Amino acid sequence: MNTVLITGSSSGFGQATAKAFAQRGWNVVATMRDPTTEHGISSSEHTMIARLDVQDVDSIGTAVAAGIDRFGGIDVVVNNAGYGLMTIFEGVDRTAIQKQFDVNVFGVMDVTRAVLPHFRSRRQGTLINISSGAGIFGAPMASVYSASKFALEGYSEALWYELGALGIKVKLIEPGGAPGTRFMSRSSSEANRTQPLPDYSPFVQSTMEVYAGMASGADADAVSKVVNAIFEAATDKSDRLRYQPTNDISEIVRARRSGSEDQYFSLLRSLFVRSTAA
């Protein structure tokens, strides 16, 4: 029986992924910052709940070791833990930026570092990193979040070469909007801790109106699509790096990756014209 370790399993994609893998007959190490809180995952013979805070390196090593000890090995790691800081860059202090990178980038690297000796010893294993459309294209008020996800994309692509030589696979999941998760509520909470700058108020208002309109077009079943893409990445045995499961950002992704720079920015201007003109 295969075993998957998932970070950030208390809600959102992580929680849904833990449940889906368990239902499909996998051993699951569902990790989260605080296992004592309500997380909707039942501990069982084949599901282990463990504390793992990606900002606490000791907890990472402990959780990985506990998963290996419990199930005899780990086959797949889903680096899901992360959040988005969506606000004006000038209002964000260095501490908030550092935290965004600690969770979205350095946390992924630390989890990867902890599991690689195990994967190397077996000459197999799959790392699945949860990226974002914000790791493909930049957008208003997403400068810090996009920077962290662009870093994750570059890191994962480079790692794909290094680990592929050892039989270890690296995968990227690139979702768009995610109704049904706590992403936007946490983003708003984090943004509320930043410094408001009145000069940006018209820009912020018009940008938020654009995002509200885009949210209404997001895939209602985004969570299930992302979970299915994660399972596909874990089991398809291919060397494919990127999986883009939701439809709401497909036009932008095609323009970014297949069109010219002029075509791409023409599309972005058409989407954000009200905010860029403010």
pLDDT digits (tens, 9 = 90+) for 120-141: 999 999 999 999 999 999 989 9
Q: Is 242 helix (H, G, I), strand (E, B) or coil?
A: strand
251-277: average pLDDT: 83
Band of pLDDT at residue 39, cut at 50, 70 and 90: confident
Q: Indicate which residue of 83, 145, 211, 243 is catalytic.
A: 145
R_g over Cα of the chain:
19
Band of pLDDT at residue 277, cut at 50, 70 and 90: very low
Q: Indicate which residue of 131, 132, 146, 206 is catalytic.
A: 131
pLDDT tens column, 5-29: 999 999 999 999 999 999 999 999 9
Band of pLDDT at residue 278, cut at 50, 70 and 90: very low
* E-only strand ranges, 83-179: 125-130, 168-173
Do residues 9 and 18 lie in contact, with contact meaning Cβ atoms separated by under 8 Å?
yes
**The two structure tokens encoding residue 71:** 């199930």
CB neighbours of residue 228 within 10 Å: 15
Q: Indicate which residue of 149, 169, 171, 225 is catalytic.
A: 149
Amino acid 19: pLDDT: 96
Is 121 designated active site?
no
Band of pLDDT at residue 183, cut at 50, 70 and 90: low
Handedness of CA 24, 26, 27, 29 (dihedral sign): negative
Q: Is 31 helix (H, G, I), strand (E, B) or coil?
A: strand
* Helices within 72-126 (DSSP H only): 94-101, 107-122
**The two structure tokens encoding residue 277:** 């003109």
Please determine, for residue 200, whether its predicted confidence score (pLDDT) is greater than 70: yes
pLDDT top residue among 129 and 197? 129
Residue listed under structure tokens 């998932």: 6
Residue listed under structure tokens 């086959």: 75
Amino acid 187: pLDDT: 57
Share of the chain above pLDDT 90, in %: 76
72-84: average pLDDT: 97
| Closest by Cα among 215, 257, 233 to 130 | 233
The answer to which of 113-117, 171-175, 182-186, 224-228 has the lowest mean pLDDT is 182-186
**The two structure tokens encoding residue 215:** 């949210």
Is 149 designated active site?
yes
Q: How far apart are CA 45 and CA 67, in angstroms?
A: 13
Domains of the chain: 3-200+220-249 (3.40.50.720)
Q: How far apart are CA 247 and CA 136, in angstroms?
A: 14
pLDDT tens column, 203-247: 888 888 888 877 776 778 899 999 999 999 999 999 999 999 998
Q: Burial, 276: exposed, middle or buried (Cβ in 10 Å; 0-12, 13-18, 19+)?
A: middle
Amino acid 180: pLDDT: 58
| Closest by Cα among 28, 38, 21 to 63 | 28
Is 143 designated active site?
no
